[in-house]
Structure 1
């Protein structure tokens, strides 16, 4: 590739939302893979959803703190601990949203996989806003 061909790609990498979406896709792959594997193993949908989300969020912290908001991550000490705690709180809010949607939809007789897809959209929006405006501001 020439330098001119790489320029648009480099500009995209500089956009925080694009990096966040890519990190989210990676974490989502881990989340959904875990969720589907646990469902196949007979784990109840709400528990499978929560476990998948929990593992996915660990992946998301690694990607977010190193690739998305790297220039906004606190150096060390209490500031870093506070930021990690806020990230965990945002994850717990997202987890609550996810489990409520999957649990409510499953109780209503809907396919838990469809419910999980709906939960992904809502949870993504909520956690993006929290992380952009609170955790990594």
Structure 2
């Protein structure tokens, strides 16, 4: 039965892609958090430091995602590549807005900025994974 073989194989490939995405996210997150903590230490407000860290991390994430995660789905050139980059940036802006919102609300409620950032990371990871998997790199 071919569907009995194909469906588990597709599930395994999705899991591998999710694992590669998680690893790329860890790399981008290291850059994001390093930037965030350095800027926070330098006296930048938490929301601004969080936004700048996220923006730098997202540039790293594009490089890793397009070269190691969604390699088969990356448009090579032309309008398709430009559209894909624009969608990636749009997904990043959604993640950035979510990050700023979570950090702003939580720090405004008296939560430590580092704990607020960690909470924002979880929320942003879930949302951007879904957007990139289902829209950007479909």
With the length of structure 1 as denominator, give the TM-score of the two structures.
0.89
Query: Does residue 75 in structure 1 map to residue 93 in structure 2?
Result: no
User: Which residue in the other structure is 1:37 paired with?
Assistant: 38
Question: Matches of 1:93 and 1:110 in 2, distance apart?
Answer: 23
User: Which residue in the other structure is 1:120 paired with?
Assistant: 121
Could you list the per-position Cα deviations for residues 51-72 of structure 1 after superposition, in whole angstroms to 9, with x for gaps in the alignment?
Answer: 0000000000000000000110
User: Which residue in the other structure is 2:4 paired with?
Assistant: none
User: Which residue in the other structure is 2:60 paired with?
Assistant: 59
Please identify runs of 4+ aligned residues in structure 1 that moved more than 4 A: none
Could you list the per-position Cα deviations for residues 6-42 of structure 1 after superposition, in whole angstroms to 9, with x for gaps in the alignment?
Answer: xxxxx99x81001000000000000000000000000
* RMSD across aligned positions (CA): 1.3
SS in structure 2 of the partner of residue 95 of structure 1 = helix
With the length of structure 2 as denominator, give the TM-score of the two structures.
0.89
Q: Which runs of 5+ in 2 are unaligned?
A: 1-11
Q: Which runs of 5+ in 1 are unaligned?
A: 1-10
Question: Matches of 2:99 and 2:126 in 1, distance apart?
Answer: 12
